[in-house]
């Protein structure tokens, strides 16, 4: 019940006691001046235990009011009613226990409040219910116990009735309603609408008569009082011992036989009067005295020793001292010591929660409230000024609030996570504007991000979400072909609405062009792109007019060279304006675009482009990185020849793109020409945009290729346009006034997303080169100079800044920075903490996201409508029906609500699914990549994740195929990295599992790259092991920790865990061209020969 607001009247203590344990924010509304009656219910001598300054307070009240906030209101006054109405507008649940009709007379009934908050669950407790002749009577525990039969069956046989020692009817009624409220919450998840829920003390107690009641209803047998005996089982009683009482019994014949043998009464086993339970019940008056006589022969403690380990039901009757001193009480944390200034001794002892969850936190986070303690706090949250509050108090409509003298120190708790960033200026963000659009269109009342998300993936509304996003974002220039509200926005190929393979066809009658979308409504004189290459002295400012003319000129040349819609235009090129120009020119024609970065090896280029057969390849002849000039002439010569050899019947023209700042001789080869010569074919054609179907192919991207030839992933024009703009504009709130920077290379999906950001923000910054040259702060300098408001980077970049002790907010003016995006790998909790506590402006939202090349966008990401918590991705992406499935089975078993880790899956179609994988085996590869495990209706992404039951945030635990599994305990490598990153001596690390053919179990191996002049010492290794053990468990501790010279990465900056795993397990594997430093893998092969039995004492590293 994280983020749940529960508004409760004074006496609904049993129900709210439970909900507050689950994490609900319970606001207790009390009577002005007096407060809850139970504040005044005290035992003799108790008043001296409380300080007079605390106001009315008692143990009785404290027992069921911890974790709540108290506000005092006079509901007979207009001002008090209005404040309650304001509280109810933001509440998930309102609970009241006035006599039926009272809240209606006050104008605060369900019908009235529901109009202002349709999601409100309105729960009522009364004495007898809202209808019937007794409905106007008050409700009291002993009265309900009397009238509904409980007191009639409680007490000794033939004796007077006896009240139970605690208010069982009160308690049971609250628990009944607690379950009903949760059921109403679950029902609300389906249609977004709350409802009224009611129960009464009388009905609750009547329902609790169970078997006794049915004996009367069906047999006409009047119930009797049986003391401690059971009406249907014998023997079952409290037997007097020499010093106290012991309860024991026999619920079946086998237990009766065992009990008789234990007590030395074996003769009773075959006695006809006692051979069956019905006979024992009939003759209990004969059986009881026999047992009583035996039990009087020993003390209770002696009998406990006799019964121990017999398996028979038994237990001594304990007083309070023995009950709270019981070993189970201690072990199960059932007592909490709370430091509380209101108590004369300074400490209050409370009873802990009875229910324990495997993952959900139940805790004590707030001491029992003093009367009206939180009135000012809550009124401030409602926007009520201090002067108005003072006037209300002067009139007596509010109480003077009592306050704790110090914050309560709660020793029994699991602290709730503290948000590092909270939503700001909600009315200004695009997400809220889109919500308002949806509400206006459909007459809805969506209020929160959760509301919007659930609507965006709902069974009957996911169509509406994509349709309204398409319209609101103006994806198509004239909205031509836009479907009616009644028609679905996508069509499954076999008409199955949730089938994801083969992929569905979205917006089948719509047309658009990506280049047109980017240029639409742009002013010629405004800056489109700022471009820098490793130096602030070399900044090119490109206006929209200049960009348009460069695209026009190249488009005309491409057409002259024979490029038409459906052809492939490729590039081996840096992150430059030239890359943007070439891509937009190709897209304007309807050609497909594919690119790789300049540092891609010859093998990687040939692996990719031999599969897609480009008509033209633009190749940059050289580039600069970390101050070094790299001449690519030899590589171009080599890969151009190899491509020609592989595609003898297909001629690819290679166009050399030069950097005017580099002195590189022109390469002379057949089929090669310079960019300048190629553009001479410009015929002066105007810049036109070919309108294309939504599903027309636009981009060919490639899988990482760490284990073989990369797969060619084809994305559609409309899919990329709609998904990227939903993620950027609606999801992450990129605005038309933003200057956007994304550090990327042209090999990465982030380059495509960055291209599309040209259609979202005012302008973009492009940077080509090392992010730490000529100075480690170069990107921060650029951010300051160009007033970057959206900064895209990676955890590796942030980690390096942290390691270099660079504190950006101290050295640079980053006041315009609104969003910091991070992707590519897991962003650790430590980096989140560092970001806010030390490094960047507190106002900036740090957004971690995860999705990929496969979907041209995010599965999980951020939103400006929710808080940011350390180590967690904020939410699921809009329109993406994300779930978490049990990784131990191929069945569709969701574990998301339990908080358990599992497979990240998507269960409904989305527009940016790949159109296809190119190649003869493309369809088979497509299916095997995402649908092999769970079938064609569930996309399995291959990420191992879990969702917090407290915050709702998502934690990325690693790739599923890289999950570690020692002794059957599954966890992700990201958990290990999160600990290792806290050690300043370690520069980088990689963690994989080893299970060779001869091994009976998997063990964890951790490889660390140390900082210069900082070796891995036994002491440091011990500290790392202890830190991992303390944070997680002994199973997480690596069997070995080794120092290595380098950590292998892909060109996209991802750790090559699978390659390393193959190397240390002795598996044969091909090293693809996408591995940035393939030589590093060779060093891991020696670890395949580690001893099978595990690490031994001594220096294992020296033996290896």
Residue carrying structure tokens 């296809």: 916
| Fold of the domain built from segment(s) 5-207+357-410 | Rossmann fold (3.40.50)
Encode burial over 482-499: b for 16+ CB neighbours within 10 A, e otherwise: bbeeeebbbebeeeeeeb
- Which residues lie across from 943 on neighbouring strands? 959
Residue carrying structure tokens 């009616």: 484
pLDDT value for 405: 33
Strands (E), 575-704: 592-596, 616-620, 622-625, 628-631, 653-657, 672-674, 692-693, 697-702
pLDDT value for 972: 79
pLDDT tens, residue by residue, 137-162: 888 899 998 999 999 999 888 889 99
pLDDT value for 915: 96
Q: What number of other Cβ atoms are within 10 A of residue 311's Cβ?
A: 9
| Sheet with 1003-1010, side-by-side order of all strands | 986-994, 1003-1010, 1040-1043
CA-wise closest residue to 1058 among 953, 956, 947, 964:
964
pLDDT value for 1070: 62
- Which residues lie across from 699 on neighbouring strands? 593, 715
Distance CA 1080, CA 153 (A): 80
pLDDT value for 482: 36
CATH for 964-1103, among 3.30.300.130, 3.40.30.10, 3.30.300.30, 3.30.910.20?
3.30.300.30
pLDDT value for 672: 92
pLDDT value for 152: 92
Integer CA distances (angstroms), 546 to 529, 586, 628, 678, in order: 10, 17, 30, 19
Q: What number of other Cβ atoms are within 10 A of residue 613's Cβ?
A: 17
Contacts of 254 (CB under 8 A, 6+ apart): none
Sequential DSSP letters for 770-826: -TTSS-TTHHHHHHHHTT-SEEEE-HHHHHHHHHTT--HHHHS--TT--EEEE-SS-
pLDDT value for 480: 43
Q: Give every residue of the chain whose pLDDT is below 70, as ranges.
A: 1-23, 358-365, 397-416, 478-497, 535-536, 649, 704-709, 967-970, 1052, 1069-1074, 1093-1104
Query: Do the domains 964-1103 and 5-207+357-410 match in fold?
Result: no
Domain boundaries, the chain: 5-207+357-410, 964-1103
CB-CB contact of 470 with 510 (8 Å): yes
């Amino acid at each position: 019940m994280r983020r749940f607001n529960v508004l409760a009247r004074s006496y609904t203590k049993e129900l709210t006691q439970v909900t507050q344990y689950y994490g609900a924010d319970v606001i207790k509304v009390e009577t002005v001046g007096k407060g809850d009656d139970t504040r005044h219910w005290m035992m003799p001598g108790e008043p001296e235990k409380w300080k007079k300054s605390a106001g009315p307070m008692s143990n009785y009240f404290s027992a069921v009011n911890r974790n709540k906030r108290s506000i005092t209101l006079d509901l007979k006054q207009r001002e008090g009613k209005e404040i309650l109405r304001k509280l109810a507008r933001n509440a998930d649940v309102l609970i009241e226990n006035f006599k039926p009709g009272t809240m209606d007379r006050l104008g605060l009934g369900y019908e009235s409040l529901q109009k202002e908050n349709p999601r409100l669950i309105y729960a009522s407790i009364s004495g007898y219910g809202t209808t019937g002749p007794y409905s106007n009577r008050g409700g009291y525990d002993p009265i309900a116990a009397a009238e509904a039969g409980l007191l009639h069956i409680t007490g000794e046989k033939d004796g007077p009735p006896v009240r139970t020692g605690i208010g069982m009817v009160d308690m049971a009624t609250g628990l009944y309603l607690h379950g009903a409220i949760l059921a109403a919450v679950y029902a609300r998840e389906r249609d977004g609408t709350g409802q009224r829920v009611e129960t009464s003390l009388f009905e609750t107690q009547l329902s609790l008569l169970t078997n006794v009641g049915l004996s009367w209803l069906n047999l006409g047998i009047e119930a009797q009082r049986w003391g401690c005996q059971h009406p249907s089982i014998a023997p079952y009683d409290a037997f007097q011992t020499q010093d106290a009482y012991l309860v024991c019994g026999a619920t079946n014949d086998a237990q009766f036989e065992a009990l008789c043998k234990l007590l030395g009464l074996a003769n009773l086993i075959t006695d006809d009067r006692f051979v069956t339970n019905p006979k024992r019940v009939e003759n209990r008056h004969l059986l009881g005295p026999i047992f009583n006589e035996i039990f009087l022969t020993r003390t209770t403690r002696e009998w406990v020793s006799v019964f121990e380990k017999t398996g028979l039901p038994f237990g001594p009757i304990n007083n309070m001292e023995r009950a709270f001193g019981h070993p189970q009480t201690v072990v199960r944390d059932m007592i909490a010591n709370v430091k509380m200034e209101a108590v004369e001794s300074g400490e209050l002892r409370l009873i802990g929660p009875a229910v324990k969850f495997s993952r959900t936190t139940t805790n004590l986070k707030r001491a029992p409230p003093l009367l009206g303690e939180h009135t000012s706090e809550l009124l401030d949250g409602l926007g009520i000024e201090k002067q108005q509050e003072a006037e209300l108090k002067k009139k007596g409509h509010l109480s003077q609030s009592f306050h704790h003298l110090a914050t309560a120190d709660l020793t029994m708790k699991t602290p709730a996570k503290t948000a590092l960033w909270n939503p700001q200026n909600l009315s200004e963000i695009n997400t809220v504007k889109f919500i308002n659009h949806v509400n206006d269109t459909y007459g809805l009342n969506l209020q929160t991000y959760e509301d919007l998300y659930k609507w965006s993936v709902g069974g009957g509304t996911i169509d509406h979400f994509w349709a309204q996003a398409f319209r609101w974002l103006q994806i198509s220039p004239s909205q031509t072909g836009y479907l009616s509200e009644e028609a679905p926005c996508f069509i499954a190929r076999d008409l199955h609405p949730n089938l994801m393979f083969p992929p569905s066809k979205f917006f089948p009658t719509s047309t658009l062009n990506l280049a047109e979308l980017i240029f639409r409504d742009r002013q010629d004189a405004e800056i489109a792109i700022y471009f820098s290459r490793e130096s602030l002295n070399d900044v090119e400012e490109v206006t929209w007019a200049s960009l348009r003319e460069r695209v026009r000129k190249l488009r005309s040349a491409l057409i002259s060279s024979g490029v038409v819609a459906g052809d492939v235009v490729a590039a081996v090129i840096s992150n430059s304006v030239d890359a943007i120009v070439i891509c937009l020119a190709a897209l304007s024609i309807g050609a497909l675009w594919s690119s790789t970065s300049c540092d891609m090896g010859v093998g990687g280029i040939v692996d990719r482009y031999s599969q897609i057969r480009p008509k033209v390849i633009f190749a940059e002849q050289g580039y600069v990185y970390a101050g070094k000039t790299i001449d690519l002439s030899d590589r171009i010569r080599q890969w151009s020849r190899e491509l020609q050899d592989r595609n003898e019947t297909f001629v690819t023209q290679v166009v050399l793109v030069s950097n005017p700042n580099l002195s590189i001789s022109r390469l002379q080869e057949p089929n090669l020409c310079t960019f300048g010569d190629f553009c001479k074919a410009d015929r002066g054609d105007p810049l036109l945009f070919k309108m294309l179907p939504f599903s027309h192919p636009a981009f060919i991207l490639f899988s990482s290729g760490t284990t073989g030839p990369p797969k060619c992933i084809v994305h559609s024009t409309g899919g990329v346009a709609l998904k990227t703009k939903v993620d950027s504009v609606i999801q992450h709130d990129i605005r038309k006034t933003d200057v956007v920077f994304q550090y990327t290379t042209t090999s990465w999906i982030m380059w495509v997303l960055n291209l599309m950001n040209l259609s979202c923000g005012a302008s973009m910054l492009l940077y080509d080169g090392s992010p730490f040259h000529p100075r480690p702060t170069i990107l921060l300098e650029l951010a300051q100079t160009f007033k970057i408001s959206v900064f895209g980077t990676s955890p590796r970049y942030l980690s390096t800044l942290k390691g270099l002790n660079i504190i950006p907010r101290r050295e640079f003016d980053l006041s315009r920075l609104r969003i910091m995006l991070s992707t590519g790998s897991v962003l650790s909790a430590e980096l989140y903490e560092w970001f806010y506590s030390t490094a960047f402006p507190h106002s900036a939202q740090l957004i971690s996201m995860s999705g990929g090349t496969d979907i041209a966008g995010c599965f999980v990401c951020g939103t400006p409508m929710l808080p940011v918590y350390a180590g967690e991705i904020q939410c699921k992406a809009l329109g993406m029906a994300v779930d978490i499935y049990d990784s131990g089975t191929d069945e569709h078993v969701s574990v998301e609500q339990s908080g358990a880790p599992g497979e990240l899956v998507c269960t409904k179609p989305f527009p940016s699914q790949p159109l296809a994988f190119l190649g003869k085996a493309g369809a088979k590869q497509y299916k095997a990549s995402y649908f092999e495990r769970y079938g064609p209706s569930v996309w399995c992404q291959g990420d191992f994740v879990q969702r917090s039951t407290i915050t709702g945030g998502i934690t990325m635990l690693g790739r599923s195929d890289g999950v570690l599994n020692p002794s059957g305990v599954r966890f992700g490598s990201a958990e290990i990295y999160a600990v290792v990153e806290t050690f300043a001596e370690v520069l980088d690390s990689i963690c994989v599992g080893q299970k060779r053919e001869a091994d009976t179990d998997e063990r964890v191996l951790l490889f660390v790259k140390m900082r210069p002049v900082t070796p891995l010492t036994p002491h440091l290794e011990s500290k790392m092991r202890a830190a991992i053990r303390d944070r997680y468990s002994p199973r997480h501790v690596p069997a070995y920790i080794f120092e290595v010279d380098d950590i292998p990465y892909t060109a996209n900056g991802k750790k090559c865990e699978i390659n390393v795993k193959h190397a240390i397990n002795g598996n044969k594997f091909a090293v693809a061209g996408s591995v940035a430093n393939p030589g590093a893998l060779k060093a891991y092969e020696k670890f395949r020969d580690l001893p099978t039995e595990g690490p031994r004492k001594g220096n294992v590293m020296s033996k290896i």
